[in-house]
Structure 1
Amino acid sequence: MSQHTVTGADAGVQRNARDSRRASLGSYIGATLEWYDFILYSTAAALIFPTVFFGGIDPALGAALSYATLAGGYVVRPVGAIVFGHFGDRLGRKRMLIITMVLMGVASIGIGVIPGSDTAGPAAAVALVGLRLLQGIAVGGEWAGASLMSIEHARPERRGFAGALVQSGGPSGSVLATLAFGLVSLLPTEQLMSWGWRLPFLASALVVVLAIAIRVGVKESPEFVAAEHVEERPRVPLLSTFAENWKSVLVIVLTALSPFFLQSVTSTFGLQFAIASGNAQPVTLWMLSIANFVSIFATLGFAALSDRVGRVRIMATGFVVSGILVWVAFALLGAHSTFAVLGAFVLLLAIGNAMVAGPLAAYMAELFPVKNRFTGVGVSYQLAATIAAGFAPLIATTLIASANGGTTLLTTFVSVLAAVGLIAALLSRRVRVA
């Protein structure tokens, strides 16, 4: 049993097993494709964009500006959560998810065709920032909607696993993105930097059509439909969320800081750190892909376990484990060894992070009533993502520089975030849904 009970219209919900499976599949595929596009940008921001869009300046400054555009996508994610959450709580989940998919497709394809700074000058960077912000707004509304469609279609005893199907879209998208970059990285450097890096972005045109077709066939959330008869929908879900469920927002933000920071810093700075330690870029990308592939099943496994023994118990264990393993993992990332790098990525993503990320979606949904759940889950999740994941590479770079190239300050910071998450998860048992 979980520690929280979903409130609202659940007693009157009529569920269909076929609809539940289709909703979960649609949410998983959609989330995978959304995160493929989003993580594709993160990888390119570390390896490609400093040269292509910020050429002609000091390399260190170019890298910092590239990471700043990465952070910009996170900064606007709460805006997407507010906008899509408002209409998702008032009009339904399904339509919002189709819109977010279209926006993400437009942004990613656009990034694949804009010229570099050698052709367009400063305008290239401006266009990149604009498309990145559009990506962030789309993802801001996507995650909560996809999670709730899967969770609200599922039986109460299966909500952890149903939510994790969307969570596993993160590592699934990472696998696709890093595989795509691993393949194009085999090209000669000149070809990679001129046109090869664009191919993974342009491939979004094909998969977006597939994702939209799947989502059109998914029925609206049965809990949302049933809630019309027992809950009055707030005129402004955002105000309702902070007036009635502010404790839930605070607890979720503090809980999610650690997994967001750890995932982001591993996929961006950790990747760059391993390459700088002498490991070949294509091989390092393959190792990250393998770790993310393992994370898919680890995320689902830990979530299924949370359906049996409780969300908080599994997540609390994950915080303890990740706070310790990060020290081992970063020592391995600094080694000139393929297997050491693989071990580090597995420790960080498939063990420490998956134990927290697996139950996270259901944990969050169970802290809000149906009437403002889209807004509450979306805003809480995206606030944490903006604070932790958006600035993770910049924070990591600063901490490494302050330690004269050492990782002690960075690993200490990760351990502190894990301790904060542990305390927040334990306190969530006292939160009551208004």
Structure 2
Amino acid sequence: MSSARTANRAGVGAFIGSTIEWFDFYIYGTAAALVFDEVFFPELSGALGTLVAFATFWVGFLARPLGGVIFGHVGDRLGRKKTLVITLLMMGVATTAIGLLPGYAQIGVWAPILLVSIRMIQGIGLGGEWGGSVLIASEHAPRGKSILYGAFAQQGSPVGNTLSTVCFLLISKLPEADMLSWGWRVPFLASAGLVVVGLFIRLRVTESPAMERLISSRRTAKLPVWEVVRSHPGLLALGIGACTIGLSATYFKSTFALSWATSDLGFAKPDFLTIILVANITQILVQPFGAVIATKMRSLSRAVTWMLLPEVVLLPMMFLLIATENYWLAMVGVAVATVPHCLYYAAMAGILAGRFPAEVRYTGLSLCYQLCGTLLGGTTPVVGQFLLGASGSINVVIAYALFQVLLTLGCMLLLLRRPSYDERDNPGGNGDRSTLDSTAGRVQLG
């Protein structure tokens, strides 16, 4: 098989697998915003029930760093492909189990206990999935295109989110009693069929060339997580910050804003789900151009600055337009605010992957992304709901969102001043160049 065909198959496999896993993860967030407070926490009324439902949503993020450590270790020692098969199966089984879980009315307090336990398993699975999907694509990429191919895995997030939104948009048209009793379970049970498709595609993808070289030369790290913490602590910290708005922006829209708009404002659930759907479709169409921009521009620092700065204006505008309770203004606000962070999200994975040596790349990349999810991304609905409840004003939530945008930009600009370890795209170690030079092929280990 030609190298180009192998790379394309790896990219498609990363996209399909990550789409399925993100679908599994996002349907939980949507269900938490719409039904879980009544199904699993009926004794907690109003905003408190929503807050607790969002807290169970965050439990998945709490478990994701553990998944990054466990499967990062496996992926850095035994291979990317084997790890991705395991994580796909784990996510599929956990998601299907949630769809079969009785509610509080049937088994009492055991219902939320089991929900949280299964959500932990989901989080561990996704914690190991994301880094592997990025690497199986980017490490198969042709020279000079690792950021572009890394974006294949990134594209799975908006597509998975769109599928999740479509499912709940259709289900929300059911009578309320049917939606609460069985309707919300349908997307979770459908995951079983999607996993079969994902496994068929993923098993046909070959191991990445970078991993094959590490195994053949016996250069795999004995304890990857320790190597990352010991040798790259500053890079880890900057990577966590650089992922922030790439993760949290989605949860500002599809989880926090969905709950706020349908509980506190005058939006019907189907209407705001349609607004989110339009934003997701916008992301699917626009996001790949972020990887193209980062690949084509000579300066990555300039590229990410141009991508993120408009968000300083557009994200506050989104909240203010939603607050008008006008359907069309809210739709425009959410869709337009999606553009800057989705461009950045496409490029972020490939940029970050190249900053870690191949022998700890899976672990380092996973820890940056998953720790950010635990500390900043996954807490977005909880913190947003708390700030809104405590202050009574959406302006405090807007200020928190702006802080996340500026944190992301600052950390990424500092990260780009560090050397790249990507042996194909930037062997000379100039962190602010995305072009090849004549020394391509040499790995910088310093």
TM range (shorter): over 0.9
One of 339, 352, 373 as aligned partner of 2:328:
339
Does the Cα contact within 8 Å between 2:228 and 2:360 map onto a contact in 1?
A: yes
Determine the C-alpha separation between the residues in 2 that align with 1:131 and 1:393: 20
Does the Cα contact within 8 Å between 2:300 and 2:416 map onto a contact in 1?
A: no
Determine the C-alpha separation between the residues in 1 that align with 2:342 and 2:173: 30
Determine the C-alpha separation between the residues in 1 that align with 2:410 and 2:272: 34
One of 68, 74, 84 as aligned partner of 1:81:
68
* 2:433 corresponds to: none
* 2:365 corresponds to: 377
One of 56, 61, 65 as aligned partner of 2:48:
61
**Partner secondary structure for residue 88 of structure 2:** helix
* 2:126 corresponds to: 139
**Partner secondary structure for residue 153 of structure 1:** coil
Aligned-residue offset at 1:323 = 1.9
* 2:406 corresponds to: 419
**Partner secondary structure for residue 279 of structure 1:** coil
* 2:236 corresponds to: 249
CA separation of 1:263 and 1:311: change in aligned 2, threshold 3 A: farther
One of 267, 280, 284 as aligned partner of 2:272:
284
Determine the C-alpha separation between the residues in 2 that align with 1:231 and 1:297: 42
* 2:225 corresponds to: 238
One of 209, 214, 227 as aligned partner of 2:201:
214
* 1:108 corresponds to: 95
Structure 2 length-normalised TM: 0.91
Determine the C-alpha separation between the residues in 1 that align with 2:374 and 2:302: 26
Show CA shifts across 1:189-245 (max 9, x none): 111111111111111111110001110110000111123456722100111112222
Aligned-residue offset at 1:312 = 3.0
**Partner secondary structure for residue 287 of structure 2:** helix
Does the Cα contact within 8 Å between 1:175 and 1:289 map onto a contact in 2?
A: yes
Aligned-residue offset at 1:140 = 0.1
One of 269, 286, 305 as aligned partner of 1:298:
286
* 2:303 corresponds to: 314
Amino acid at match of 2:64: R
CA separation of 1:231 and 1:381: change in aligned 2, threshold 3 A: farther
* 1:359 corresponds to: 347
**Partner secondary structure for residue 219 of structure 1:** coil
Does the Cα contact within 8 Å between 2:319 and 2:398 map onto a contact in 1?
A: yes
Amino acid at match of 2:383: I
Structure 1 length-normalised TM: 0.94
Identity value in percent: 33
One of 172, 177, 180 as aligned partner of 2:167:
180
For structure 1, which runs of at least 5 residues remain unmatched after alignment? 1-13
* 1:403 corresponds to: 391
Query: Greater helix percent: which structure?
Result: 1
Determine the C-alpha separation between the residues in 1 that align with 2:18 and 2:272: 25
Aligned-residue offset at 1:317 = 2.2
Determine the C-alpha separation between the residues in 2 that align with 1:124 and 1:75: 20
Aligned-residue offset at 1:358 = 1.2
Amino acid at match of 2:53: S
One of 125, 137, 140 as aligned partner of 1:153:
140
Bigger relative contact order, structure 1 or 2 (CA pairs below 8 A, ≥6 apart) = 1
Query: Are residue 328 (structure 1) and residue 332 (structure 2) matched?
Result: no
Q: How many residues align?
A: 419
Query: Are residue 123 (structure 1) and residue 123 (structure 2) matched?
Result: no
Amino acid at match of 2:80: R
Determine the C-alpha separation between the residues in 1 that align with 2:383 and 2:415: 28
Show CA shifts across 1:106-138 (max 9, x none): 111000011110111000111101110010000
For structure 2, which runs of at least 5 residues remain unmatched after alignment? 422-445
Determine the C-alpha separation between the residues in 2 that align with 1:346 and 1:60: 27
Determine the C-alpha separation between the residues in 2 that align with 1:371 and 1:289: 39
Does the Cα contact within 8 Å between 1:172 and 1:296 map onto a contact in 2?
A: yes
Determine the C-alpha separation between the residues in 2 that align with 1:173 and 1:251: 27
Q: Relative to structure 2, which stretch is displaced further, 87-96 or 275-284?
A: 275-284
Amino acid at match of 1:19: T
* 2:440 corresponds to: none
RMSD over aligned Cα atoms: 1.5
Show CA shifts across 1:255-282 (max 9, x none): 1122222221211011122223212211
**Partner secondary structure for residue 222 of structure 2:** coil
**Partner secondary structure for residue 144 of structure 1:** helix
Q: Relative to structure 2, which stretch is displaced further, 143-152 or 162-171?
A: 162-171
Q: Relative to structure 2, which stretch is displaced further, 20-29 or 329-338?
A: 329-338
Query: Are residue 49 (structure 1) and residue 44 (structure 2) matched?
Result: no
Query: Are residue 189 (structure 1) and residue 176 (structure 2) matched?
Result: yes
CA separation of 1:270 and 1:343: change in aligned 2, threshold 3 A: same
Does the Cα contact within 8 Å between 1:247 and 1:431 map onto a contact in 2?
A: no
Determine the C-alpha separation between the residues in 2 that align with 1:105 and 1:141: 14
* 1:164 corresponds to: 151
Q: How does 1:259-270 map to 2 (within 5 A)?
A: 259-270=246-257
Determine the C-alpha separation between the residues in 2 that align with 1:228 and 1:213: 25
